[in-house]
Structure 1
Amino acid sequence: MEEPDWHGWHTGYDSPGSLLWRRLRVVRAAISGVLDDGARSVVSLCAGQGRDLLPVLADHPARAGVSARLVELDERNVRLARQSAPEGVEVVTADAALTDAYTGAVPADLVLVCGVFGNITDADVRHTIGCLPMLCAPGATVIWTRHRREPDLGPQVCSWFAEEGFELQGLTQEDFTVGVHRYAGPPRPLEPGLRMFTF
């Protein structure tokens, strides 16, 4: 099976009114709100070109105090993200599915899992959600996205988050889903060498 072109995939963000364009606006608004509430450390899984976080940081009053690690495997996307990454933001070329990629950057106040759940198996979605507390500081926020093609997994995803100690803060459902959850469970140390999903 041919590997998807994750660099070319980003062109959907450049088409006003497209699903990706509309979803990006919702995600950016959610990120801005979390930064407004005081989040100062961020990790982003399968970060791509950083189009969700980096433009928000560029305009946010707290940008100088925010540290972030964006994890992305496609080197072309990494190069583009680095071009717009401000001081305090590192963009690393690594497999975002491996917990080792987050050593030294977690626990974080904000964890972005955007563009992931629609590209992995349901079993891996469940497993990943079970691993997310290891990336979260107390009270951290997780923002995730997924398509709504049948069968719509969104309600089950919310249920899985609840099982892992997350409280639903916001849910946008159009022809995509954007979920915002706050971690209310106990701290969990990062387990090295763990694979969360297969992309």
Structure 2
Amino acid sequence: MTKDWYAWHADYDQPGSALSHRLAELRGRLRAALDAAPAGPLRVISLCAGQGRDLIPVLAAHPRRDDVTARLVELDPRNVEVARAAAADVGLTGVEVVAGDAALTDRYADLVPADLVLACGIFGNITDADIRATVRHCASLCATGGTVFWTRHRREPDLVPAICDWFAEEGFTPVAVSSPADGVGVGVHRFTGTPRPLATGVSMFEFVGYDRLTTPDRSRGDHCG
């Protein structure tokens, strides 16, 4: 049975839920990054963007909103429509919501290297090897001085320390990483290296889904929540 990634978003609206805590933490980190961003145009990409609940409300209320050109990529058409409506309702003409596979590098070729890269709701739903590969691709997606935002649960086995090591190997320095006690698993890393050319025609990861990662017969998960 394929997980319903549209219904999955309902937990964001439940006070006290892990997702609502994660969302609040992530929005705060996004605001801080926009506050600190240099003057001029800003490029933002969001992989597996869902309904855009992390980015769109932050941009709507931020003084830099008109400096931002953003692309949100999401496979579930219902989530795409919600995100498009949300951006239109607050007049974010620079925000584009694309329906498609967020793992494909070609989706971002004309907007990278970007100032903000959101890879949220992904690392808990793909294999460890694909997490490593995605971190490697972040060195092509992110501009020097830009910031990557990512999420991963802190349950055992806790992969967050390894993910931080992988980011370090690719030229990123940590800005903030939530502790196991926080439970919400939000990471923020700044890129200090030189962006590598983005490989074209490449799939960065296969979205399996957390509910299927431990099953012997893993079919491809087609929705990025």
Q: Do they superpose with TM above 0.5?
A: yes
Please give the secondary structure, in 2, of the residue aligned with 1:34. Answer: helix
Q: How far, CA to CA, are the matches of 1:89 and 1:32 in structure 2?
A: 16
Residue 4 of structure 1 aligns with an amino acid whose one-letter code is K
Residue 104 of structure 1 aligns with an amino acid whose one-letter code is D
TM-score of the superposition, structure 1-length normalised?
0.97
Partner of 2:28: 29
Q: CA RMSD in A?
A: 0.9
Q: How far, CA to CA, are the matches of 2:25 and 2:159 in structure 1?
A: 19
Q: How far, CA to CA, are the matches of 2:111 and 2:98 in structure 1?
A: 12
Q: 5+ residue gaps in structure 2?
A: 208-225
Partner of 2:104: 98
Partner of 2:192: 184
Please give the secondary structure, in 2, of the residue aligned with 1:119. Answer: coil
Q: Which has a greater percent of strand?
A: 1
Please give the secondary structure, in 2, of the residue aligned with 1:137. Answer: strand
Q: How far, CA to CA, are the matches of 1:176 and 1:150 in structure 2?
A: 13
Note the 1:1-199 alignment, pairs <5 A.
2-38=1-37, 40-85=42-87, 86-173=92-179, 174-199=182-207
Q: How far, CA to CA, are the matches of 1:64 and 1:128 in structure 2?
A: 29
Q: How far, CA to CA, are the matches of 2:184 and 2:62 in structure 1?
A: 26
Residue 46 of structure 2 aligns with an amino acid whose one-letter code is S
**Alpha-carbon deviation of 1:55?**
0.3
Bigger radius of gyration: 2
TM-score of the superposition, structure 2-length normalised?
0.86
Please give the secondary structure, in 2, of the residue aligned with 1:196. Answer: coil
Please give the secondary structure, in 2, of the residue aligned with 1:64. Answer: helix
Q: Which has a greater percent of helix?
A: 1
114-123 or 173-182: which moved more? 173-182
What is the aligned length? Answer: 198
**Alpha-carbon deviation of 1:189?**
1.3
Deviation string, structure 1 residues 145-194 (Cα, Å, up to 9, x no partner): 01112101011110110011100111122112111100011121111011
Please give the secondary structure, in 2, of the residue aligned with 1:110. Answer: strand
Q: Tell me if structure 1 keeps the 8 A contact 2:69–2:94.
A: yes
Q: Tell me if structure 1 keeps the 8 A contact 2:6–2:76.
A: yes
Percent identical pairs in the alignment equals 59
